[in-house]
Structure 1
Amino acid sequence: MNEYLPGPRPSFMEITWRDDLSDATGYVVIDRLLRGVASGGLRMRAGCTLEEVRGLAQAMTKKEAVHLLEGARYVPVGGAKGGIDFDPRSPLAKGVLERFLDSLAPILQSYWAVGEDLGVRQDDIDEIFERRGWGSAIAPVRRLLGDDEAVAAADARLAHAFSQRIDGISQDELVGGYGVTVAALTAMRARGIDPVGARAVVQGLGSMGGATARFLSQAGVKIVAMVDAAGVVADAAGLDVEQLLAARDAFGTVDRTRLPAGARVLPGDDWLSIDCDLLVPAAVSNCIGVENAEQITASLIVEAANLPVSAQAERALAERGVAVIPDFVANSGTNAWWWWVLFGDVDGSWAESSAMLDDRLQALTDAALSGAERDGVTPREAALALAAEGLAAIEEHDRMQATAEGVPA
């Protein structure tokens, strides 16, 4: 097993930033460079910490590594993450984001391919990059494509991919939730749960949680509760997911005056105790700990958010027979999809994108569950072994390339 997983290791780079015009504090952690670069999203939320961002960057490295696939054009890169401790709903948030990106410009242009995360929209990142003349937000990875012809072909694929709309919704807002759904359905069937009529609770109505709820519902799963920042909306008979999603604001909060018939409002803390088969935390990190894990009724948790279940809670849940499909497997579809399109493993169409997500998320979830059963460990531990194997192979790829180019390894 690679020496860097699963235990802690020093990050390649950690930066703390303080805003001159507000009380915002930001953090960047590049967990490691592979192929000379790293990728990962930037989030903004009140209370974000360096420790949180560090954990997210480490998870990104794992998320990349599990998608190493022999014969694929996409060879994974390192993991990175950024976080800003500030309220994204504040009218000052856009200025904070811009000043953060300004300060980090040399890192963004050299090492860190950045994308959206909780509280930050990709459109806002792209608009700032365009106005500053910085080119693409994924420029560090884009340079790996090679010559101008390869770059032009990749740009055409990305343009095609981001122009695709499925039932009126942009493809890029769907791929993450679609991947989570594939992982969830695969795990449900492996554990003897018939998805048709099974009950699920989804926490978070942003693009990830919303798309997950939509695709689960389309597969026959009954969404009995959805959770946003204002609390829980529940219906034991199953919610009208499309009506709820249509009533969201830009931050994923549902207008309580537009609830479906039969829906009732519950306090936010009640979401874990709702009777269900499947629990999908798709919002904030560290929302399930030892202090509330005992409330959980579900036998399966699929992590659509990053780091939603603490290590101590997961151990307690495992003792009760509750399986957790880890974030760096379940929610890895968005990140992988970007690179599949960029490097040409898919053409950017929904047909090829969804087929690749079906194949990879099913295979990874099956491998995590079968490895857990075989070795008597948790699915997370089995998936960590897969990530370690991938990292070792990528590092060897880097060493061989450096040797071929005459660069000291």
Structure 2
Amino acid sequence: MSESLLADASQRLENALKYVKISEDAIERLKYPKASISVSIPVRLDNGSLRIFQGYRVRYDDTRGPTKGGVRYHPNVCMDEVQSLAFWMTFKCAALNLPFGGGKGGITLNPKELSRMELERLSRGYIDAIADFIGPDVDILAPDVYTNAMIMGWMMDQYSILQRKLCPAVVTGKPITIGGSVGRDTATALGAFFVMEAMLPKFDRRPQETTVAVQGFGNAGAMLAELLWQAGYKVVAVSDSKGGIYAPQGLDIPSIRHYKEASRSIQAVYCKDTVCNIVEHTVITNEELLELDVDVLVPAALENQITSANADRIRARYIFEVANGPITSAADRVLEAKGVYVFPDILVNAGGVTVSYFEWVQNRSGLYWTLDEVNQRLKQKMLDAAEPIWAIARDQGMPVRTAAYVYALERLEEAIRTKGTRDYYLNGH
């Protein structure tokens, strides 16, 4: 992971500052994370050997409330990446008007190399190491890349053991039986779908006439692909970490999801048994998927998928970022010059943190909502953010990403100003 990832993420803040006047105090506060911690986690493996894993947690800004953010298990996890993700979460929570700041965490490893028991020891060890750094009113954890409800349950349980009391609100994305919220597992995809359904008609795009490619067939990408398929969009390509498939006439997404779950690989879906007969297809790479001639591109994998090296070859007219940071700031400039509309991660994938907020509220109140209530509240939250952000972009002629940062920045500035700024103290009122 490049050491300049946080600097690249901060470039989005610099772009937004050209369009909005905020106090020097706010700018200074948002340049640096409030607190960061790096920990070593010893884990006894099943074969009896001891292995040390490196873990991180960052609380970027808590002006608007306790920090909130996921924990990812991935070989590329490092402090720079975690700080960047926490930075994005700060603006995402402000854009959606959630009473949170931005946080993030992670452990450097390939989780596929560990057994389930080893993953549990690692997850509980991570909480042992950062317990004094987190809490329901300080910093709330959630699932991210290669973490899930079971892992969140282990983390919540370990924190509760350390506190000598049940603390369900310290972690969101938990199993429903121990305080999780219905709708959390589909929230990121459904939130993105609501944004797409609201934005594409503004360009006179009809589902049946719109082709879509989805890079990343994990939980969010696969669910979004199926939601789009159900709504009548022509999903022509999908991919996972091992590669992808492309069929110009459209793919049968429910069948692909079914076989993917059984085979663990997109390529296996179209290369084994009778599933190969579902539709004619072409096997492609992730890089090739990004450059397909489609109307809508959905990067739903990892960061830095579209860079200055390939941005000029992107042919999609509309990009909806379901992954965090899939496009670099340099690539943004190329795409803008090409007339590509990029709907940013801090809006499009905010469904996950929004329903995590709902879970936190339910944990603290003891009153739990139905799936319909959760989804209706989610839709309202997503539209309440998407419409004004689009209006700013349209009326001021700026990229949608910049409009989203301007919208979030105004909320952050207001909260920082409420606590007192240089202007307040010098002017004496």
**Aligned-pair CA distance for 1:252:** 6.4
Give the equivalent residue in structure 1 for 2:412: 391
For 1:11 and 1:327, locate their aligned partners in 2 and report how far apart those are by CA, in whole Å: 20
Aligned residues: 372
Task: State the Cα deviation string for residues 252-277 of structure 1 (Å, max 9, x = none).
Answer: 64343245432332223211121211
Give the equivalent residue in structure 1 for 2:236: 224
SS in 2 for 1:123: helix
The one of 102, 107, 111 equivalent to 1:79 is: 102
**Aligned-pair CA distance for 1:85:** 1.7
For 2:68 and 2:260, locate their aligned partners in 1 and report how far apart those are by CA, in whole Å: 29
Give the equivalent residue in structure 2 for 1:403: none
Give the equivalent residue in structure 2 for 1:368: 389
Give the equivalent residue in structure 1 for 2:199: 187
**Aligned-pair CA distance for 1:207:** 1.4
Equivalent pair of 2:344/2:401 in contact (CA under 8 Å): yes
Change (3 A) 1:275 1:32: same
Give the equivalent residue in structure 1 for 2:334: 316
- AA paired with 1:390? R
Aligned residue runs from structure 1 range 228-267, under 5 A: 228-249=240-261, 253-254=265-266, 255-256=268-269, 257=272, 258=275, 260-267=278-285
The one of 288, 292, 298 equivalent to 2:316 is: 298
The one of 110, 117, 128 equivalent to 1:102 is: 128
**Aligned-pair CA distance for 1:36:** 5.5
For 2:416 and 2:383, locate their aligned partners in 1 and report how far apart those are by CA, in whole Å: 26
Change (3 A) 1:303 1:6: farther
Task: Tell me whether 1:9 sits opposite 2:9 in the alignment.
Answer: no
Change (3 A) 1:137 1:63: farther
For 1:273 and 1:86, locate their aligned partners in 2 and report how far apart those are by CA, in whole Å: 30
TM-score (norm 2): 0.79
Equivalent pair of 1:53/1:81 in contact (CA under 8 Å): yes
Change (3 A) 1:341 1:348: farther
Task: State the Cα deviation string for residues 80-134 of structure 1 (Å, max 9, x = none).
Answer: 0002221121116614333222211111236221010001112112124325625
**Aligned-pair CA distance for 1:7:** 9.5
SS in 2 for 1:248: helix
For 1:202 and 1:6, locate their aligned partners in 2 and report how far apart those are by CA, in whole Å: 38
**Aligned-pair CA distance for 1:250:** 9.1
Q: Give the unaligned 5+ runs of structure 2.
A: 1-20, 43-49, 421-429
Identity of aligned residues (%): 24
Task: State the Cα deviation string for residues 345-383 of structure 1 (Å, max 9, x = none).
Answer: 996223222222333323322322221122121111111
TM-score (norm 1): 0.82
Task: State the Cα deviation string for residues 187-220 of structure 1 (Å, max 9, x = none).
Answer: 2112232222310011111211111111111111
SS in 1 for 2:307: coil
Change (3 A) 1:18 1:349: same
Q: Give the unaligned 5+ runs of structure 1.
A: 69-74, 142-154, 165-170, 400-409
SS in 1 for 2:70: strand
Equivalent pair of 1:114/1:138 in contact (CA under 8 Å): no
Deviates more, 1:267-276 or 1:212-221: 267-276
Deviates more, 1:359-368 or 1:53-62: 359-368
Equivalent pair of 2:123/2:155 in contact (CA under 8 Å): no
Q: Once superposed, what is the RMSD of the aligned Cα atoms?
A: 2.9
Equivalent pair of 1:38/1:78 in contact (CA under 8 Å): yes
Deviates more, 1:343-352 or 1:112-121: 343-352
For 1:366 and 1:84, locate their aligned partners in 2 and report how far apart those are by CA, in whole Å: 36
Aligned residue runs from structure 1 range 3-402, under 5 A: 3=23, 4=26, 9-20=31-42, 21-22=50-51, 24-34=53-63, 37-68=66-97, 76-91=99-114, 94=119, 95-109=121-135, 111-131=138-158, 133-134=161-162, 135-136=166-167, 138-139=169-170, 162=180, 164=182, 171-249=183-261, 253-254=265-266, 255-256=268-269, 257=272, 258=275, 260-343=278-361, 348-395=369-416
Change (3 A) 1:163 1:333: closer
Task: State the Cα deviation string for residues 124-177 of structure 1 (Å, max 9, x = none).
Answer: 121243256253453389xxxxxxxxxxxxx9xx7699575xxxxxx2221210
For 1:44 and 1:126, locate their aligned partners in 2 and report how far apart those are by CA, in whole Å: 15
SS in 1 for 2:61: coil
Change (3 A) 1:175 1:253: same
- AA paired with 2:307? G
Change (3 A) 1:44 1:51: same
For 1:5 and 1:241, locate their aligned partners in 2 and report how far apart those are by CA, in whole Å: 45
Change (3 A) 1:234 1:23: farther
- AA paired with 2:291? S
- AA paired with 1:337? V
